[in-house]
Amino acid sequence: MEKEKVIEFFGCVPLLQRLPSASLRKVSELVVFKHYEQGEYVVREGEPGDGMYFIWEGQKNHVHPEFWFYPNDEELLLHYLDNMIPYEEVLKGLSNTVHPAHVVAMCKLTCLVLPHEHLAMLQSESIWMCSPPVDDILHLEPMPHLEDIFQGVTLPGSPHFGKVFGGQLIGQALVAASKSVDHLKVVHSFHAYFILAGDLNVPIIYKVHRLRDGKSFATRTVDAIQKGKIIFTLMASFQKEEPGLDHQEVAMPFVPAPDTLLPMEELRERRLTDARFPIAYRNKVATTEFIPWPIEIRFCEAKISTNMTKSPPSFRYWFRAKGKLSDDQALHRCVVAYASDLIFLQVTLNPHRRKGFRTRSVSLDHSMWFHRPVRADDWVLFWIFTPTSYNARGYVTGYMFNQKGELLVSLVQEGLARTRTVNSENSAIKPKL
């Protein structure tokens, strides 16, 4: 059988969709084809069998659901979970148990069998196989007793702004959606809404809804839930790669190469002693808690103004993920989605900045379109522009390019920006309202 067909088959198995794509490919290499004639025993009572069976073609029949066949034995997991047995113990049990009933082929039957000695491949400490800090922030724990439900947390020391960072919600929700589709399909667009502010100290439950699985496309929605309430929702569309028309009319702006620019952290340190900045501003920067971002950023323009100075309605900077990432394209798109919200909305304030200018800003919605493959661990240029603001809502759009000038991503966001007055100085903003 063709290897790619086996990979595609396994990509439709929910149990395996949670694995890193490299692990899925490895499982595809380790399985063994087993063929059975009608009436032939697949597994006999009292025998351990050959491992985990995935039905490629045909049907089987058995008396007692105490061993694993996919896709007919969902009741096996229910049996274990009703008795609160962790999924890891299910896999261990498959390695040394004997079956209490015969399994017989009802017609010609073909199975893909993962031998007992390789069942550990179905367990993974990481769903991505990448290094910190990205893996820590985008890591989700699959809920072993509930399909398509994941749990995420806000780790101490991760970016936040008094509430769960919007990029974290975007990135983690997209991870959950990506782990429910065939890995040959990757996200090409998503649209997200921020509904309520997220609590930093409460785990976030991500519930995936499988709206459609087609030959070329798949559609998912994801609800992020805290304290029983939906705080964020995302709808994403996934597509399998295919040949097609290709053109690009948007040119990358001319900017300095990233290697010639200073990291954001170094710029911050220089500001502390730069006499061009007011002493009050430098003192504020020095006393404000600084949380290192998991994304390296290098600004293209030498910024010598403060947040109290009117600025152009555009901004450009290079960014890339810190740490090592695998070649999984789904991972890279989740990382780019996470990073896209770090500075995006702030640009809508640039034309309005002045001395004493203060606002409370929150993101309302966020949409992205992925045009071409992207490497989040290589430099990406983010070109941001705000065409308008009105009715306390700022609108911002952006393009992302690789160093070759190829357009990778287009994105837009709208956010609420309310000016702060003396009377409202100590009042809390109502989330999204």
Co-location of 304 and 237 in the same domain: yes
CB 33 within 8 Å of CB 55:
no
The fraction of the chain above a pLDDT of 90, given in percent, is 42
pLDDT attached to residue 368: 99
Dist CA 314 CA 387 (whole Å): 9
> Of 122, 142, 158, at which residue does a domain stop?
122
- b or e along 327-349 (b: 16 or more beta carbons within 10 Å of the residue's beta carbon)? ebbbbbbbbbbbbbbbbbbbbbb
Dist CA 52 CA 66 (whole Å): 12
Dist CA 21 CA 7 (whole Å): 10
pLDDT attached to residue 285: 62
Note the helical H segments in 315-391: 329-339
CB 364 within 8 Å of CB 432:
yes
Co-location of 291 and 384 in the same domain: yes
Co-location of 83 and 156 in the same domain: no
Of 66-75, 90-99, 407-416, the range with the lowest mean pLDDT is 66-75
Amino acid symbol at 273: T
Whether the CA torsion 401, 405, 410, 413 is positive or negative: it is positive
Closest CA to 17 of 191, 164, 180: 180
Co-location of 235 and 183 in the same domain: yes
We report the CATH number of the domain holding residue 268 as 2.40.160.210
Co-location of 49 and 154 in the same domain: no
Could you please report the per-residue DSSP string of 186-243? EEEEEEEEE-SPPPTTS-EEEEEEEEEE-SSEEEEEEEEEETTEEEEEEEEEEEE---
The mean pLDDT value for 329-356 works out to: 87
Residue 129: pLDDT band with limits 50, 70, 90? low
Co-location of 20 and 154 in the same domain: no
pLDDT higher than threshold 50 for residue 74: no
Co-location of 76 and 134 in the same domain: no
Q: How many residues does the chain have?
A: 433
How many domains would you assign to the chain? 2
Helix 166-178 vs helix 329-339: angle between axes, to the nearest 10 degrees? 160
pLDDT attached to residue 282: 64
pLDDT attached to residue 238: 98
Q: Does residue 133 have a cis bond before it (omega within 30 degrees)?
A: yes
pLDDT higher than threshold 80 for residue 354: no
Residue 419: pLDDT band with limits 50, 70, 90? confident
Of 89-103, 214-228, 259-273, 298-312, the range with the lowest mean pLDDT is 89-103
Note the helical H segments in 248-328: 264-271, 279-287
Could you please report the per-residue DSSP string of 47-64? ---SEEEEEEES-EEES-
Co-location of 157 and 83 in the same domain: no
pLDDT higher than threshold 80 for residue 144: no
Co-location of 115 and 141 in the same domain: no
* Residue bearing tokens 């785990």: 203
The β-bridge relationship of strands 141-142 and 149-152 is antiparallel
pLDDT tens digits along 157-206: 777 778 999 999 999 999 999 999 998 999 999 999 999 999 999 999 99
Q: How many angstroms separate the Cα of 266 from the Cα of each of 269, 270, 274, 292, 356? A: 5, 6, 12, 12, 27
What six digits make up the tokens of 217? 């496309």
> Of 75, 98, 122, at which residue does a domain stop?
122
> Of 122, 148, 172, at which residue does a domain stop?
122
Co-location of 232 and 318 in the same domain: yes
pLDDT tens digits along 22-54: 777 888 888 888 888 888 888 887 777 787 778
Dist CA 221 CA 208 (whole Å): 6
The rounded mean pLDDT for the chain is 81
- Please indicate whether residue 264 or residue 338 has the higher confidence score (pLDDT): 338
Dist CA 348 CA 397 (whole Å): 10
pLDDT tens digits along 245-287: 999 999 999 999 999 998 887 777 766 666 666 676 666 666 6
Closest CA to 145 of 41, 67, 74, 42: 74
Co-location of 138 and 165 in the same domain: yes
CB 348 within 8 Å of CB 395:
yes
We report the CATH number of the domain holding residue 64 as 2.60.120.10
Of 57-61, 219-223, 246-250, the range with the lowest mean pLDDT is 57-61
Domain that holds residue 20: 1-122
Dist CA 71 CA 78 (whole Å): 14
pLDDT tens digits along 320-333: 999 888 899 999 99
Dist CA 299 CA 261 (whole Å): 7
pLDDT attached to residue 267: 74
Residue 85: pLDDT band with limits 50, 70, 90? very low
Co-location of 109 and 135 in the same domain: no
Residues annotated as catalytic are 341, 363, 413
pLDDT higher than threshold 90 for residue 209: yes
